[in-house]
Structure 1
């Protein structure tokens, strides 16, 4: 197989509560060609198709399941610039200059994504602040240092002590950092909007199509479908999420399991400003709200990918999340209307792998998203589009494949 096939999610997420988006079903029924083939029609593939078609490329998107049917519906869609790896820790790993660039690029990506959403009118643009609570990774003293590092990088951040945190948000923790202007979204609606924008410019979407072989040549790539048809293209982009090309894990990455729930609507019980809340802990709890007043809460991550084992823990993990949620916010209901579990990628630095694939000419990939999946999807679209246009990207080396 060209990509490692996984059972990416189980259960029903809140984004699947209504009728799924409809796209005409078109397979590949003969040999064809395109400037760029994008494998994967989730949020990453949709952003690639939008960016590349807007740049004038003839784009063909293929997916073995169908559009927006892989990991995208399992996303909790906290579109944050704050990287999983704190800036102070990332500085020790890759140096201050590179760490600051990575954090600033995520800030730019969130703002760019908001602007693109507004331009396309594909989904409402809802800005949310984020509250980062002291935990077992960064205590109150560590959060103070982290806040200083972020402000030094030009990222506005406020440090709240225990008294201020209790007064403003009703939360009992030693300290928290308050960041500003992240994005809240419905990931299914977001991906659908980007795909439709690309299609309106002439991009093609083919599904169900499974690519089983490729031949990367000096100036082109030749693909073969399961039915034996050939697809010729100048460039190939893997946007297959956690179904890794050839099953190969990029250096410094791993695939994990996670669990999430969405409560019943409870607008009157929600916390002030409905900011994102997450912890400086490992594993960390994270939560957001929805426009109809639900709380989406996730966490309890485990470093294994066995789907049967993951699914068997659904009940136990849901109860654990409910206990933590109820302890943190005693005034809310933890009754779950939706529960789901899924597979996701993480890295030791919190950064993804984006760029040209080693030893495969004209092949590119976006892999290893961590907790900033959609933010990194945006960065991936920017870097790969610039690369295919021959312009390059000033931050490309931050995310390049490592040997």
Structure 2
């Protein structure tokens, strides 16, 4: 099989699928990209058995065929070739040669029929939404996902469909991030699925500059998101997500409204002398200010004050400074509202300009 393709037409889809292909794999074929050529275009597929990425590009007058080659080697070659160059491929059973000008390369190939297939199953729920909405839903929650937690269902992102709304939730047991928004044309069903952590990060990366509508297709064991000439698919995490609504404070007895930048800067300064492992910071809230304190095992101390609009009795509470900073950095408005049910309860952090996302941080003993 022979075909020709412009460097840029191959490099862009290759860059889109490369993120899911690990540098080290127990199965050698998972280091490869599957390339399928027909008269109308070229389809590139990458997978790690958990996530699958497919990108398409146009091509004219090519012979049909399928083959696999090492993905990162092919991308490095394309990246280093001159712009506007045309690549001439010649595919043989165990070797693939490509030539661009006076540059010539020969890559090892593995049989395309051995490339793992990704079973999508019967479609159960389908809807369309704007890609920027999906991107924002991931951006506002993904940072709170757990990493390698024994509670495997926390190592992912909850996507919930209910009453014409889409909701994403992430938690590592110490904090929680929630985003919700109504979507026109949402099916009248209630469904929860858990996307794997790697899939969430890859989808967020791929949606970074997409402005067109995205189609979400959910089956029993996987989810597929299609936008433009690209398709993302991921196997769902099995298990039931915890009842996250129980940790959202319902009635706040103490509320503080504070400048986001002032609080962020004070937290960053005080955290310098906090315990390196636990990052604990004490907040004394009352009398029109928030006083922040931190100390470490070397008996070093830090203290700072930030003005705030406070209602309710004065109280003190401890938090992990990193968790507070992550939530505050996810807020877009100039001020944030921090709500507490009691001195030992969790903190609800809200964006005063956008009620679609909320953040909860659990307290810690200091």
Q: TM-score range with shorter-chain normalisation?
A: under 0.3
Greater per-residue helix proportion: 1
- Structure showing greater radius of gyration is 2
**TM-score, structure 2 normalization:** 0.25
Higher RCO (C-alpha 8 Å, min separation 6): 1
TM-score, scaled relative to structure 1: 0.23
